[in-house]
Amino acid sequence: MKKNLIVGQSGGPTAVINCSLYGVVSEGERQENVDKVYGMVNGIEGFLKGNYLDFAAMDSKEKLLYTPGAFLGSCRYKLPEDFADPVYPEIFKKLEEMNIGYFCYIGGNDSMDTVSKLSRYASSVKSDIRFIGVPKTVDNDLVMTDHTPGFGSAARYVAQTVREITRDASVYDKEAVTIVEIMGRHAGWLTAAGMLARQQGDRNPYLIYLPEVAFDVERFIRQIQEAMKECKALVVCVSEGIRDQDGTFICEYDSEAAVDNFGHKMLTGCGKYLERLVQNRLGVKVRSVELNVSQRCSAALMSKADQKEAVEAGMFGVKAAVSGETGKMAAFSRKGSAPYEMECTLQDVNLICNQEKTVPKEWIIRDGSDVSQDFMEYALPLIQGRIDLPEDEFGLADFVRR
């Protein structure tokens, strides 16, 4: 008997979260056991308010393949721990009314928590609705998968942009430090991608700091002084999440001192703090650059490899649901790096949610100021390939909107 499929997106967007959506929708439409394909608008939170759409009515679905943001809209909504909460029967009543047999949720850590809870609740009430997670996060911090869709594109953005910034920073015949602040509050995967910016014969960006190693201000200043002996226009990559030995975020260092005109503590990024620190301590010209949301929404620098895998993860998730799986996440298993070979696998979503995968300590070298070749081997295949962005009448990327 045919059942309907519903898909949602949750958490922060990535450049390729809509590619996974495309994978889910196109595979759903292809499967004989799937009747209609619905989309929750604004995730499970919107679904609870009755917001959804029918993909049969959507034109030009292929535009999803290069549209950043979350086409369906997203939410940050945590289901209660207590299965006695009335929200659970409410959700399942709605799902049954819509004759849903397959539920795919595209997201990160918190979204996998939703999949975990719904699949466990389903089992407790003997519902046969199948719940499958499709991973996404630029942070690359999900366990039990080699990497996550979204990371490759963000890493390509970081690598190419830091390379461009390095050219820009090197034009004057003056000592100068450029500090690039990169996303990743707990895991340094994306900041590590700064190393890929290095060109043959050039070690700039010289210094790279991840949150996995305690940040020491004095060591940082020493390392900058050392590096400036070799390189006049130094480029430094720092993770937004670097913190000291006591666990205090470096970006919090200023917040005691600085109060804005509204009487509130001024929270700036660690890049801005370090900019002032280096300026004060070394008296050189310093600029900080926060790469900001473009890391997760640059279509122009999307990685083709990432785009392809994001679609595959979505398709694989649907196939798994249709074949009877539930409470699982579509994951990636690497068969080799040279040549790169990847295989989709299923992992228990209960073992994934609320865990965090950080950069291996042994990949962090030079007294916490650089990343080893292991990272390069790991990351290079994921950032390969450029996509051709179809353009609208203005000559800019022609994105799709809901």
Give, as ranges, the residues between 250 and 309 that touch a copy of itself (CB under 8 A). Answer: 253-254, 256-262, 264, 266, 268, 272-273, 276-277, 280, 287, 289-290, 292-294, 296-301
Give min distance, CB of 340 to a copy of itself, in A: 11
- Of these, 70, 270, 274, 359, which contacts a copy of itself (CB under 8 A)? 70
Active site residue 139: yes
Q: Which is nearer to a copy of itself, 36 or 276 (CB)?
A: 276
Q: Which residues of 228-249 are buried (b: 16+ CB within 10 A; e: fewer)?
A: beebbbbbbbbbbbbbeeeeeb
Catalytically annotated residue among 110, 139, 306, 370: 139
Q: Which is nearer to a copy of itself, 197 or 270 (CB)?
A: 197
d(CA 388, CA 398) in angstroms, rounded, equals 11
Q: Which residue has the tokens 């991840």?
A: 210
d(CA 149, CA 95) in angstroms, rounded, equals 27
CA–CA distances in Å: residue 125 to residues 53, 101, 104, 129, 270: 27, 15, 19, 11, 48
- Of these, 33, 170, 225, 372, which contacts a copy of itself (CB under 8 A)? 170
Residue 352 touching a copy of itself (CB under 8 A): no
Bridge partners for 224 per DSSP: none
The residue range among 67-75, 94-102, 132-140, 343-351 that interacts with a copy of itself, by the rule CB under 8 A, is: 67-75
Residue 147 touching a copy of itself (CB under 8 A): no
- Of these, 69, 133, 150, 317, which contacts a copy of itself (CB under 8 A)? 69
Q: Which is nearer to a copy of itself, 102 or 253 (CB)?
A: 253
Please tell me the total number of residues recorded for the chain in this structure. Answer: 402
Give min distance, CB of 394 to a copy of itself, in A: 6
Give min distance, CB of 378 to a copy of itself, in A: 13
d(CA 329, CA 351) in angstroms, rounded, equals 10
Residue 200 touching a copy of itself (CB under 8 A): yes
CB of 18 within 8 A of CB of 61?
Answer: no
d(CA 375, CA 398) in angstroms, rounded, equals 34
Give min distance, CB of 386 to a copy of itself, in A: 7
Give min distance, CB of 249 to a copy of itself, in A: 14
Q: Which residue has the tokens 């990535």?
A: 14
Alpha helix locations (H) across 353-399? Answer: 373-379
Residue 161 touching a copy of itself (CB under 8 A): yes
Q: Which is nearer to a copy of itself, 362 or 392 (CB)?
A: 392
Give the burial class of 83: count Cβ atoms within 10 A of its Cβ; 0-12 exposed, 13-18 middle, 19 or more buried: middle
CB of 235 within 8 A of CB of 205?
Answer: yes
d(CA 308, CA 157) in angstroms, rounded, equals 17
Residue 165 touching a copy of itself (CB under 8 A): yes
Residue 340 touching a copy of itself (CB under 8 A): no
Eight-class DSSP state of 199? -
Residue 160 touching a copy of itself (CB under 8 A): yes
d(CA 44, CA 55) in angstroms, rounded, equals 17
User: What is the torsional sign of CA 30, 31, 36, 39?
Assistant: negative
Interface of this chain with a copy of itself, residues 16 to 45, rule: CB under 8 A: 41-42, 45
- Of these, 85, 90, 128, 202, which contacts a copy of itself (CB under 8 A)? 202
- Of these, 8, 23, 28, 68, which contacts a copy of itself (CB under 8 A)? 68
Count residues contacting a copy of itself (CB under 8 A)? 80
Give min distance, CB of 287 to a copy of itself, in A: 8
Residue 107 touching a copy of itself (CB under 8 A): no
Give min distance, CB of 167 to a copy of itself, in A: 3
Give min distance, CB of 187 to a copy of itself, in A: 20
CB of 51 within 8 A of CB of 342?
Answer: no
Q: Which is nearer to a copy of itself, 33 or 51 (CB)?
A: 51
Q: At what angle do helices 109-124 and 87-97 cross, to 10 degrees?
A: 80
SS (HEC) of 251-288: HHCCCCCCECCCCCECCCCHHHHHHHHHHHHHCCEEEE
Q: Which residues are catalytic?
A: 139
